[in-house]
Amino acid sequence: MDKLTIRDFDPGRKRVFVRVDFNVPVEDGKVVDDSRIRASLPTIRALLRGGAMLVLASHLGRPNGKVVDSFRLRPVAERLGALLRVPVRVTGDALGLGTQDAVARLKPGQVLLLENLRFHAAEEANDPGFAKTLASYADVYVNDAFGTAHRAHASTVGITQYLPAYAGLLMEREIKMLSTLMESPERPFAAVIGGAKVSGKITVLDELMKRVDTFCIGGGMANTFLVGKGHTVGKSLLEKDRVEDAKRILAAAEERGVQFLLPTDVVVAKEVTRGAEHKVVPAHKIPNSWSVVDIGPQTTAAFQAALEPARTIFWNGPLGVFEVPTFGDGTRAIARFLARKADEGATVVVGGGDSVAAVQQLGLTEKMSHISTGGGASLEFLEGRELPGIAALLDRDSGRQGHAEERTAEPASATSAGEGARP
């Protein structure tokens, strides 16, 4: 999956439309986690050094096609400006005469951020008129938003019909690291899979089964596998309709000779809340009125022993109810262990919101080989699906490269921006 990147064109004096993923948590008008903004900085800085005029675009939250003041991007623009140490203006809307004027006034080295794209239903509908208007703001398109690459939206797919489309540096690294897991991992290759439900990860488990040597399964999803092995799990989260899938996956692991570790001891609590009574019990003796909230110390040690020889490790999903600190011991222990493995030269790729959050909270981000910015996108990539936002970019070895400069959009008129592109 070799795509043309920002290294393959001269951005000098060009208006470059960059789709970024600035869907970050904002509280009281301040960005409280800027990791996704920081992840975009290499691409933004490289284009600015090259003399580009940048039009950045992102979504924030789920406004469902309506203007929601709490989802405005001004706090994001302020944080980005502080990181870049250059002013970042944000438009009042993604469309309209004011936005056209702001784009027209851009000079090399300047940055403009469009207001939340999802204030327009046309964005998620991949409306051609909306896409064409966005394209009219620029000469070149760059997608650096891997977290939205699995969505066929106007700013990720539709716009590429009108502009030559390149991968940003973050997008390039995401593709490279995740492709390595699927195509050429150094062995032994292990996967640590957690999270609440197995239903959203069945396909990725099936795909990884063809490639990994060891699975370590924790989190709420492990309960379904425990039931598949004949255990009871009390009041714990359980997907009864997925027990047969769990049995099938367990059988496949045995048939292929894949080590498939489930918890042997667990932390259980009377209530899944902070301060609740809790204790460690064997996984086959979970009390009827208690819930599993974490892996136990015996399981943590067993997972670490199984992962010790691994040269490539993929981790997705916490191993307990990580948002309650008391129930996050297993997740934190595995995070620290994987950081040490990466420090010793193993390739450790972390994907998934809560597992990434654990790494960030412990200050281990820089230790890991790669922290994926895409939760759902990462899983779909590993499932072997074609992600629309990646497929739409120019291939390095294809006829599309020769026609890259032929994709152009007419400058947006007041009519097209104000009427044709609006939902």
Q: Whole-angstrom Cα distance, residue 38 to residue 20?
A: 11
Report whether 302 contacts 264 (CB < 8 A): yes
Q: Which residues pair with 191 in a beta bridge?
A: 215, 314
Tokens of 259: 């080590």
Q: What is the CA radius of gyration of the chain?
A: 23
Q: Is 36 a catalytic residue?
A: yes
* The total number of residues written for the chain in this structure: 423
Among candidate residues 81, 376, 418, 420, the one labeled active-site is: 376
Among candidate residues 353, 400, 418, 422, the one labeled active-site is: 353
**How is residue 213 annotated by DSSP?**
S
Among candidate residues 15, 19, 36, 72, the one labeled active-site is: 36
DSSP string, 315-348: EES-SS-TTSGGG-HHHHHHHHHHHHHHHTT-EE
DSSP string, 268-307: EESSSSTT--EEEEETT---TT-EEEEE-HHHHHHHHHHH
Q: Is 105 a catalytic residue?
A: no
Q: Whole-angstrom Cα distance, residue 100 to residue 87?
A: 19
Tokens of 129: 């008129």
Q: Whole-angstrom Cα distance, residue 22 to residue 25?
A: 9
Among candidate residues 14, 45, 74, 197, the one labeled active-site is: 197
Q: Whole-angstrom Cα distance, residue 164 to residue 135?
A: 10
Q: Which residues pair with 214 in a beta bridge?
A: 190, 259
Residue 214: phi and psi, rounded to 5, are -145, 135
Q: Which residues pair with 143 in a beta bridge?
A: 19, 167
Q: How many CB atoms lie within 10 A of CB 402?
A: 9
Q: Is 61 a catalytic residue?
A: no
Q: Report the candidate in 423, 412, 401, 332 with the shortest Cα–Cα distance to residue 165.
A: 401
Q: Is 340 a catalytic residue?
A: no
Tokens of 419: 């009427």
CA distance to 96, 120, 145, per residue, from 65 (Å): 16, 4, 20
Which amino acids are annotated catalytic? 36, 197, 353, 376
